[in-house]
Amino acid sequence: MVLEKEKGETKPMRILLTIAYDGTRYSGWQKQKSPEVLTVEGEVEKALRTLFRNPELECIGASRTDRGVHALGQRAVIDVETTIPPEKIPLAIRPFLPEDIVVTAAREVPGDFHPRYDCVKKTYEYHIYQSPYKNPKERLYSTFVYSPLDLEKMNEGAKAFVGTHDFAAFCAAGSSVSTTVRTIFDCHVEQEGPHIRILVTGDGFLYNMVRILAGTLIAVGQGKIPAEKVAEIIAGKDRRQAGQTAEPQGLTLREIYYDLP
């Protein structure tokens, strides 16, 4: 794979990658100081350095997914000088990536584009497997709930998240952000047999926010928290009133949206 040697001038470009991964093996997206710690960013960067023959190359990710969290639409940018057309990068990088990471798309973006600051909205999915017994095939990609869940109540509770609110009650302790106000554009729950999925789209999310939201809606579905109390919990800004932080393996970063031509 010596695509760089194809005829044609190299051209400096900023490229936006879309990345899907199974987060099971990884200590999250973000590269750690110790090179011993396996991270998705570390593996992606290593593959990019090999492909572009540039040991200095660094990528900037859009979202710092936690240990065990998955992605279908993570994004990252790189600056490269190459003759490889951006749309060929997904195929060209494949031999250098482990099989649990896939680059699904690549495109050129303006030189001042930033994957975090230019993000317009993001969609996360939280997957619950509801059944009397665990399904071993789903254990790494869902949280297991034994008791039946009331979908109607969960959807009623989900509506309370929509809008611009101070989500201090849905933020892990110890995280330092300038504001805990976020706007949620959509939050709803879908069911297909034993698979229950919470889909939430917002302009940004606090640390553990989707997992606390999921834990709260599970408690609503179980009848432990009344659906009409969710709005109160948000207004109360007290983390202790919200539900538990749902397990990481149920969470998937589905999509990140940008205003790009």
Write out the binding residues for substrate. Answer: 124
Q: Does 244 bind a second copy (CB under 8 A)?
A: no
Q: Does 29 bind a second copy (CB under 8 A)?
A: no
Q: DSSP 3-state assignment of 126?
A: strand
CB 158 within 8 A of CB 217: yes
Residue 141 vs 170, nearer CB to a second copy:
141
Nearest-CA neighbor of 152 among 241, 226, 243?
226
Q: Which of 53, 88, 114, 139 binds a second copy (CB under 8 A)?
A: 139
Report the b/e string of 101-130 with b at 16+ CB within 10 A: bbbeebeebeeebebeebbebbbbbbbbbb
3-state secondary structure of 3: helix
Q: Does 132 bind a second copy (CB under 8 A)?
A: yes
Per rule CB under 8 A, is residue 32 in the interface with a second copy? no
List beta partners, residue 182: 165
126 binds a second copy (CB under 8 A): no
Q: Please identify, using beta-carbon distances, which residue of 81 and 190 lies nearer to a second copy.
A: 190
Question: Using CB under 8 A, which of 136, 173, 176, 261 touches a second copy?
Answer: 136
Based on the shown chain and the rule CB under 8 A, indicate whether residue 11 belongs to the binding site for a second copy.
Answer: no
**66 flagged as catalytic:** yes
Please identify which residue in the block is written with the tokens 């200590």: 27
Taking CB under 8 A as the binding criterion, the range among 80-88, 94-102, 159-167, 209-217 that sits at the site for a second copy is 94-102
**CA-CA distances (angstroms) from residue 174 to 98, 171, 206, 208?**
34, 9, 11, 11
Determine, following the binding rule CB under 8 A, whether residue 104 of this chain makes contact with a second copy: yes
Q: Does 147 bind a second copy (CB under 8 A)?
A: no
Evaluate the CA torsion angle 213, 219, 220, 226 in order and state its sign. negative
Catalytic residues, by residue number, are: 66
Q: Which residues bind a second copy (CB under 8 A)?
A: 20-22, 70, 72, 90, 99-102, 104-105, 132-137, 139, 141, 192, 252
